[in-house]
């Protein structure tokens, strides 16, 4: 399992950080068609960069002066608490079973303006929990308190968690890993999300990790200069 | 939407992207390529070193000492081409060009002998399978023939090579001997029949010459006749000249006679006129010397006239004689001429016949000479061992120390190249079959979704 790396925090000048900021900007432009505060991030399969995008997007938003709540909705393989070096004793699960008020599950990160609700203890029935009443309530109130709420979810094709959440959020971002994500699967995912009344804002392409341990690779998908 | 910038940059980079894409593909699959290549090399190494039994090759070299000229240019363009070339072709050795030897070296009967000699059937080698072990080739621009034998057993390979060359030499001399024996036989029979023909021709000539009225006889006869004819002809000319003279003389005399008075009047000048007329009349009646004694005149016969008349008579007689002779000679000459002509014709036809017979005899004699020469030549040739003189075993085969097959290095190199090619092709095929999202383009075309951003790969700097 890859460790989620906050490049936007450690190296804001890197091309990658630049790309995350571009995502943020594009998202902001897309809001003309209707505001969306709650953003769900998913993909077709594991290891495609959902959590990385969620975390880094949240960081860039916070850096731009927004108040951002990052929610780890991956109740199967939660990772975000580790990214921000926080504890996962208490989290979303507790909120969803109404054992906790949601704002008590919020933890502040060392990035100003960015807060996190980790997954909490892993439940036996994540889909059901995520589709429950408390989740809807939590999202509504969180959206009213924060400028943006970013949800990290499990992949679409494997489990239905993201589909359950799709109608509850304002916008969905599909993460595509170049050279890994299959065309037929991503199309399937798109169809499923649309059928579930989800509103897909757009896709973010994650460049494939070069094979092997070589440090050499083409900046083939480099977004360098794409704005200039 | 913010994606237009991306599109533009892609359009600009399309050419670059092509080559890059290929390199990218190769780079992406480099481990697969390396692995397949390595596997191929390893497989070929294992096969070459451990699995395949090594094959050895023994090599013998034969030298053709008397290679037949590729095509003998007609050296003698005389009249001898007819019979001579026929006889030549019969008595000639089979024309063995180098390529003939090369193809003959794999002659099955020779191979059978080799199989027997080395008891190869015990090793499960038949003549047919032996043929597959053998390679024969003429070395270019030389009169050397290379004989290569491949076998898994090095000593056997060399044995086969040497035995085969030896057997082949024997085989060649044997076939040559046979061929030459046949030629001698043939030539002998030819010579015998030719002899008979020659005798017959000679006899015909002799018979012809012994016939009556032969050529020589006729020639002599003709000569005699021609001589006679010329004699007659000269005689004829003489006679004609003589006759001319006589005729001229006769005319002269007649004129003289006319001018001469028959009688001489002696002292009687009166009747001179009448006398003259009488004289002429008298002269016309043949000038009989009757003496007219006219009364009144005394006349006397003119002596000059009498002499002239006498001479004229004489001439006339001689002229008649000459004419008769002339006619006779003329007739004789004509007869002779006809005879000469007949004899000439006969002689010509006889001569023609004789020449023909003579030619026949000459022709047969010539043929016989030729045949006899050839017989001697062929007999000499037969007594020489041709197999050893026309072919030589220059270098006998030694048991090879190193196997020629497999060549592990070559095999591995080939395997490496093949493996690499297959791997590269395979990686491109995989790439083609790979239906993953690559570019922002793909997303927009396939999904109809805007691309919010493209995040390059980054490594956690831990």
pLDDT in tens, B421-440: 999 999 888 878 878 888 88
Contacts of B236 (CB under 8 A, 6+ apart): B326, B329, B330, B333
Backbone angles phi, psi at B62, to 5 degrees: -110, 145
Interface test with A, best of B453, B458, B461, B462 (most A CBs within 10 A): B453
Contacts of B377 (CB under 8 A, 6+ apart): B91
Residue B360 is encoded by which pair of tokens?
């026949």
* CB contact (8 A) between residue B6 and residue A222: no
- Residue A13 distance to chain B (closest CA, Å): 12
**What was the pLDDT predicted at B70?**
43
**What was the pLDDT predicted at B227?**
92
Residue B50 is encoded by which pair of tokens?
């451990």
CA B390, CA B397: separation in Å to the nearest integer?
20
Q: Which residues in chain B are closer than 8 Å to A82, comparing Cβ atoms?
A: none
**What was the pLDDT predicted at A224?**
42
Q: Where are the alpha helices (DSSP H) in A37-174?
A: 50-63, 80-83, 92-96, 102-105, 126-130, 133-145, 161-165
Higher pLDDT, B359 or B87: B359
* CB contact (8 A) between residue B456 and residue A181: no
**What was the pLDDT predicted at B352?**
92
A55 touches A6 (CB < 8 A): yes
A69 touches A146 (CB < 8 A): yes
CA B104, CA B401: separation in Å to the nearest integer?
29
Q: Which residues in chain B are closer than 8 Å to A217, comparing Cβ atoms?
A: 457
Contacts of B306 (CB under 8 A, 6+ apart): B289
State whether residue A134 sits within 8 Å of chain B by CB: no
CA distances from B119 to A220, B113, B123, B297 (A): 72, 10, 8, 161
**What was the pLDDT predicted at B306?**
85
* Residue A40 neighbours by CB distance under 10 Å: 30
Q: Which residues in chain A are closer than 8 Å to B452, comparing Cβ atoms?
A: 22-23, 26-27, 30, 173, 201-204
**What was the pLDDT predicted at B374?**
85
Higher pLDDT, A84 or B103: A84
- Per the prediction, chain B carries an average pLDDT of 81
DSSP β-bridge partners for residue B453: A204
Task: Give mean pLDDT, residues B335-347.
Answer: 91
Residues B253-303: tens digit of each pLDDT: 888 888 888 888 776 555 555 544 444 444 444 444 455 555 566 778 888
Q: Looking at the partner chain, which of B440, B452, B457 has a beta carbon nearest the beta carbon of A217?
A: B457
* CB contact (8 A) between residue B437 and residue A3: no
CA B325, CA B315: separation in Å to the nearest integer?
15
Q: Where are the alpha helices (DSSP H) in chain A?
A: 7-10, 15-30, 50-63, 80-83, 92-96, 102-105, 126-130, 133-145, 161-165, 183-195
pLDDT higher than 50, residue B391: yes
Closest chain A residue by Cα to residue B454: A205
Q: Looking at the partner chain, which of A3, A26, A190 has a beta carbon nearest the beta carbon of B460?
A: A3
Q: Looking at the partner chain, which of B23, B436, B455 has a beta carbon nearest the beta carbon of A183?
A: B436
Residue B255 is encoded by which pair of tokens?
């004129």
**What was the pLDDT predicted at B284?**
47
Contacts of B107 (CB under 8 A, 6+ apart): B168, B171
Higher pLDDT, B315 or B289: B315
* CB contact (8 A) between residue B454 and residue A19: yes
Backbone angles phi, psi at A157, to 5 degrees: -65, -35
* CB contact (8 A) between residue B455 and residue A211: no
Interface test with B, best of A25, A49, A57, A183 (most B CBs within 10 A): A183
> What is the phi-psi region of residue B286: left when phi exceeds 0, alpha when psi lies from -120 to 50, beta otherwise?
left
Q: Looking at the partner chain, which of A3, A5, A219 has a beta carbon nearest the beta carbon of B456?
A: A219
* CB contact (8 A) between residue B436 and residue A182: yes
- Give B 19-38 residues with CB within 8 A of chain A: 20, 23-24, 27-28, 30-31
Q: Looking at the partner chain, which of B434, B437, B453 has a beta carbon nearest the beta carbon of A19?
A: B453
**What was the pLDDT predicted at B305?**
85
* CB contact (8 A) between residue A187 and residue B460: no
Least Cα distance to B306 among B248, B278, B250, B264 occurs for B264
Half-sphere exposure of B307 (CA within 13 A, CB side): 5
CA B446, CA B212: separation in Å to the nearest integer?
128
* CB contact (8 A) between residue A210 and residue B457: yes
State whether residue A13 sits within 8 Å of chain B by CB: no
* CB contact (8 A) between residue A176 and residue B1: no
Q: What percent of chain B has pLDDT over 70?
A: 81
CA B189, CA B200: separation in Å to the nearest integer?
17
B203 touches B363 (CB < 8 A): no
Higher pLDDT, B441 or B67: B441
Residue B391 is encoded by which pair of tokens?
């072919």
Tokens 């980054």 correspond to B458
Q: Which residues in chain B are closer than 8 Å to A15, comparing Cβ atoms?
A: 456, 458
pLDDT higher than 60, residue B235: yes
Q: What is the pLDDT along chain A (228 residues), one digit of tens a residue?
A: 567 889 999 999 999 999 999 999 999 887 655 677 899 999 998 888 899 999 999 999 999 999 999 999 999 999 999 999 999 999 999 999 999 999 999 999 999 999 999 999 999 999 999 999 999 999 999 999 999 999 999 999 889 999 999 999 999 999 999 888 889 899 999 999 999 999 999 999 987 554 433 333 333 333 443 333
State whether residue A194 sits within 8 Å of chain B by CB: no
- Residue B433 distance to chain A (closest CA, Å): 11
**What was the pLDDT predicted at A20?**
94
pLDDT higher than 90, residue B178: no
* CB contact (8 A) between residue A202 and residue B434: no
**What was the pLDDT predicted at B408?**
85
Higher pLDDT, B107 or A22: A22
Q: Which residues in chain B are closer than 8 Å to A174, comparing Cβ atoms?
A: 447, 449
**What was the pLDDT predicted at A54?**
96
- Residue A217 distance to chain B (closest CA, Å): 9
Higher pLDDT, B211 or A96: A96
Q: Which residues in chain B are closer than 8 Å to A210, comparing Cβ atoms?
A: 27-28, 457
CA distances from B409 to A45, B47, B56, B111, B421 (A): 47, 12, 17, 34, 18
**What was the pLDDT predicted at A211?**
41
Residue A16 is encoded by which pair of tokens?
């990658």
Q: Looking at the partner chain, which of B31, B446, B456 has a beta carbon nearest the beta carbon of A211?
A: B31
**What was the pLDDT predicted at B92?**
63
CA A122, CA B291: separation in Å to the nearest integer?
212
CA A139-A142-A143 angle, 5° bins: 85
Q: What would you measure as the largest C-alpha separation in chain B, in angstroms?
A: 209
CA B383, CA A181: separation in Å to the nearest integer?
92
Q: Residue B217 — pLDDT band, cuts 50, 70, 90?
A: confident
Task: Give mean pLDDT, residues B233-248.
Answer: 91
CA dihedral A50, A54, A60, A62 (to 10 degrees): -170
**What was the pLDDT predicted at A226?**
39
CA A34, CA B137: separation in Å to the nearest integer?
89
**What was the pLDDT predicted at B382?**
74
**What was the pLDDT predicted at B133?**
87
**What was the pLDDT predicted at B215?**
85
CA B321, CA B159: separation in Å to the nearest integer?
119
Least Cα distance to B62 among B152, B134, B112, B155 occurs for B134
CA B383, CA B117: separation in Å to the nearest integer?
27
**What was the pLDDT predicted at A50?**
92
Sheet containing strand B391-395, strands side by side: B134-138, B144-151, B56-64, B391-395
* CB contact (8 A) between residue A29 and residue B2: yes
CA B198, CA A170: separation in Å to the nearest integer?
131
* CB contact (8 A) between residue B457 and residue A203: no
State whether residue A82 sits within 8 Å of chain B by CB: no
State whether residue B457 sits within 8 Å of chain A by CB: yes
């Amino acid at each position: 399992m890859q460790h989620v790396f906050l490049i936007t925090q450690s190296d804001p000048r890197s091309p990658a950080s630049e790309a995350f900021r571009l995502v943020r900007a594009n998202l902001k432009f897309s809001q003309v068609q209707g505001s969306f505060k709650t953003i769900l991030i998913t993909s077709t399969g594991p290891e495609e960069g959902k959590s990385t995008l969620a975390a880094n997007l949240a960081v860039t938003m916070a850096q731009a002066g927004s108040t951002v709540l990052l929610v780890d909705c991956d109740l199967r393989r939660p990772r975000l608490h580790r990214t921000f070096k926080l504890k996962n004793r208490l989290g979303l699960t507790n909120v969803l079973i109404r054992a906790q008020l949601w704002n008590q599950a919020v933890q502040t990160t060392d990035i100003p303006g960015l807060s996190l609700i980790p997954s909490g203890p892993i439940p036996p029935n994540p889909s059901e929990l995520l589709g429950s009443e408390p989740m809807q309530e939590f999202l509504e109130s969180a959206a009213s308190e924060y400028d943006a709420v970013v949800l990290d979810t499990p992949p679409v094709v494997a489990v239905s968690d993201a589909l359950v959440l799709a109608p509850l959020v304002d916008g969905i971002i599909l993460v595509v890993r170049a050279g890994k994500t299959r065309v037929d699967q991503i199309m399937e995912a798109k169809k499923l999300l649309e059928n579930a009344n989800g509103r897909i804002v757009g896709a973010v392409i994650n460049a494939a990790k070069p094979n092997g341990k070589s440090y050499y690779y083409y900046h083939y998908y480099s977004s360098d200069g794409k704005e200039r | 939407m913010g994606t237009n910038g991306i599109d533009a940059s892609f359009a600009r980079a399309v050419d670059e992207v092509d080559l890059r894409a290929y390199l990218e593909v190769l780079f992406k699959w480099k481990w697969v390529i390396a692995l397949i290549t390595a596997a191929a090399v390893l497989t070929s190494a294992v096969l070459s070193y451990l699995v395949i039994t090594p094959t050895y090759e023994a090599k013998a070299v034969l030298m053709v000492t008397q290679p037949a000229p590729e095509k003998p240019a007609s050296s003698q363009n005389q009249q001898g081409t007819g019979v001579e070339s026929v006889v030549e072709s019969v008595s000639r050795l089979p024309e063995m060009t180098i390529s003939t030897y090369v193809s003959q070296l794999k002659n099955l009967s020779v191979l059978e002998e080799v199989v027997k000699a080395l008891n190869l059937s015990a090793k499960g080698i038949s003549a047919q399978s032996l043929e597959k072990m053998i390679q024969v080739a003429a070395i270019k621009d030389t009169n050397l023939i290379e004989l290569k034998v491949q076998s898994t057993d090095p000593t056997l390979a060399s044995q086969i090579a040497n035995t085969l060359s030896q057997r082949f030499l024997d085989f060649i001399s044997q076939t040559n001997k046979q061929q030459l024996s046949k030629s001698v036989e043939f030539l002998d029979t030819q010579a015998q029949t030719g002899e008979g023909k020659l005798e017959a021709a000679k006899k015909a000539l002799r018979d012809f010459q012994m016939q009556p009225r032969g050529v020589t006889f006729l020639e002599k006869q003709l000569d005699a006749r021609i001589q006679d004819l010329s004699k007659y002809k000269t005689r004829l000319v003489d006679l004609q000249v003589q006759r001319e003279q006589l005729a001229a003389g006769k005319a002269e005399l007649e004129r003289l006679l006319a001018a001469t008075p028959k009688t001489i009047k002696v002292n009687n000048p009166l009747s001179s006129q009448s006398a003259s007329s009488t004289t002429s009349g008298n002269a016309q009646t043949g000038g009989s010397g009757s003496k007219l004694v006219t009364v009144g005149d005394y006349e006397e016969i003119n002596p000059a006239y009498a002499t002239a008349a006498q001479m004229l008579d004489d001439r006339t007689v001689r002229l008649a004689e000459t004419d008769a002779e002339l006619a006779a000679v003329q007739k004789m000459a004509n007869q002779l001429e006809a005879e000469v002509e007949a004899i000439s014709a006969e002689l010509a036809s006889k001569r023609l016949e004789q020449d023909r017979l003579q030619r026949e005899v000459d022709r047969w004699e010539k043929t016989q000479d030729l045949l006899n020469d050839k017989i001697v030549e062929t007999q000499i040739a037969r007594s020489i061992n041709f197999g050893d003189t026309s072919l030589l075993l220059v270098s006998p085969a030694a048991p090879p120390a190193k196997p020629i097959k497999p060549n592990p290095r070559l095999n591995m190199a080939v395997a490496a190249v093949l493996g690499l090619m297959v791997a590269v092709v395979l990686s491109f095929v995989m790439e083609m079959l790979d239906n993953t999202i690559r570019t922002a383009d793909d997303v927009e075309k396939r999904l109809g979704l805007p691309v919010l951003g493209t995040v390059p790969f980054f490594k956690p700097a831990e």
